[in-house]
Structure 1
Amino acid sequence: MANLARDIPLEAAVPPYRARDFFLARQPILDRRQELFAYELLFRAAAAGPANVTNDLSATASVIAHAAELGMSNVIGSSLGFINVNAEVLLSDFIHFLPKDRVVLEILETVEVDERIIARVEELAAAGFAIALDDVVAESPNVQKLLPLADIIKVDISGMSDEHVASLGRKFKQAGKRLLAEKVETQEQFQHCLDHEFDYFQGYYFARPTILAGRRLTPSQIAIMRLMTQLASNAELSAIERGIKQDASLGMSLLRLVNAPSAGVTEQIHSLGHALKLLGRQQIHRWLQILLYAESDKSRCAASPLLALATTRGRLLELIAETIRPGDTGMAGTAFTVGILSLMDALFGLPMEEIVRQLSVDDEVRHALLDGSGIYGDMLRLAQCIEKIDNACPQLTPLLDKLGISSEQLYALQVSAFEWSDAVSGGVN
């Protein structure tokens, strides 16, 4: 089959976007067991205001063209990456800069499907690219034309009745397609799609707190929170070691974590006492926070994606603090704590007020978590802002200006946080 790519120079096809021109949103896609399957990646123009799809896709095209600079593995780890493509990107030769075994080409619903598009998608599928159809809400003519070539159908369930979701699911399942429900915002929506044989789920339903009356923490969670409180109150290391030894699984988990390459320790740690002395209070406090996610009730849905999201937030806030206040390790540690704690209401099914009370955090952390105020609240809102993949965040530029960092710096910090989080999450699962 002839190559259908447009024979135009890369410089002419791709606007000169650089890291300073966009930021990256990364949203998890989970499977039926609520384990991480992939990430959708979206590169948004850094300018303030409503999302500009043209600019977003230009930024995406530029990133594709400079994939070596991006370092795809640094952004998605060992997972797949879903990337939006329009007709211009589909028909351009620079799409081959993407690693075909690591990405899913997500064809936007706005693409007008003609014979040239069909032939090009056939060519890309034959070359080994997986194909997804994006934002499907009905069996449109465009969908029907590409359906035989698609591996995954993404159904946008927002504003859709349960009956419509079920009907679409049945039809596409009968066509032998895998189904991905996107914009899943509640546990009820997730369960409905699960009941109707959807394979994958996208949306922050797993990170939204579902407050359950009478919910209790597990013994390991209680032990970890007690140790965190001891650390905060400057208890003797010997007392903290005794507390860790009371829970064998906790001790093993902590040793496994601190021996992982991501911990940055240059020598093997063989005992809890050794770990405490070598790492110090701040590092032990950090790993206990991470262990709250890793040691959560194994039957609880989406603990692993929450761990990935929480560690990404924690590390990103820490890096932001290090950027704006170099050398201030106390501020960096507090920023990390705010990021990690910000999802514990979702993890535990408890109100954030109760989490904050049990942990006896200081006022700055409390205000950041409960009302988003103060410099740590600004950092947290920035992290939450760039996690949103469906809508541009008008607060982005004002928050960057307030914190005194550029979008170029933010992009570099994001990639670093993703890489660190993926290493940590892989080490505790």
Structure 2
Amino acid sequence: MSTIPDELQGSKQPSDAEEDSHVLIARQAIVDENRAVFGYELYDRSTPSQGYTADSDAALLFNALSFADTETLVGQKLVFINCTLASLAGGHLELIHPDKVVLEVPPVPGNLPEDIESHAVVLEDLRKRGFKFAFNHSVLTRGYAPWRALASFVKLDMTVLKPEMVQPFVKFATANTTAQLIAEKVETAEQHQLLTSYGIKLFQGYWFAKPALVKAQTIRPSQATILQLINLVRKQATTAEIEELLKRDPTLSFNLLRFINSSGFGLNCEITSFRHAVMILGLKKLFRWAALLMTTSRNGGAPPAVGQTAVVRGRLMELLTAEMLSPEDCDNAFVVGVFSLLDAMLGVPLAKALESVALPQPVLDALLYRTGVFAPFLALTEACESGDDEVFGRTAEALHLSNKQVNWAHLQALAWAESLAAD
């Protein structure tokens, strides 16, 4: 047996003590005949599994795209996601770019012909939108002819099929579908050799790779804040009104920018402003996103103190730059202030935190290197916060701002943040 690449090695399962602030996603490689990774099947390990439901597989897709680093998680490979029949009509699929997603669809309970036919209509609609499907061996049995033309993959479970049944299924699939066959739960060299002799070229199982765990740090908005967003969308609020809410809560805006720039969303350009993100998503998809965020967030009241401080920083920088910079740069100044505390929110170095969200270079320069047009405003903002008179005086003078101007802006920023917390 050849050496298994490091990326395919297994990982221990998460303990019950894992913090709520982590998303835990297990991935198991699907490999080709040369043991190169063809794709990954994903499993949600963030919460104890109670079986797949329409909510659970929607949450898995959402967590994988929103919170995990999708480039680290799956790279450019296909993603295989177990689905329920109920979830196929779910709005969460409208948020997903289908090119990389394979939906693993179970057979219909009871195998009733009318149910098989009705689900074929749903599947056909998803296929037209670009989704691919993987079915188990049931699709090769009598009654599932309406599904066979939709199959991109057929999975043959080696723990379910008797050894003598595998070759007849392979021959039937080859003659009656255009699907690629995947032998799953392959656990021995003998199984692998036999399956290869039947012409199967894709494999999944412990013989190749155990599921490996990918852990992502998260910051999640309170459900009260998400409800405010949902209510704004339902009232057909303007982009400016929605942007205002995003500016109130750094956790909400951070999650939105990270999601819309994930590889699964399928954009060819990076979105770096809240307003642009809202315009790109549109109200319908924004509602879907907020609803899914709600299902994966904890109950909570007011944001933590660090979030409040971040909002004050953002508003103060926005006010300080108002008469010196363009409106777009004022928006970016707000982002610098708000995201300057991401390291405290996430518990990781700032450079690491910023890897998962797209930001303009001048914003990154200020946050990471304390250089560029926004750097002195950030230094002044922090001096206001800490009471560092020496830095305050030097920086204010360099920016040609009087003590009265800065102090008045700081009071306004504090009052603004307080008013938001009271809403």
TM-score normalised to the size of structure 1?
Answer: 0.41
Give the number of the structure with larger relative contact order, counting CA–CA contacts within 8 Å between residues 6 or more apart.
Answer: 1
TM-score normalised to the size of structure 2?
Answer: 0.41
Q: Which has the larger radius of gyration?
A: 2
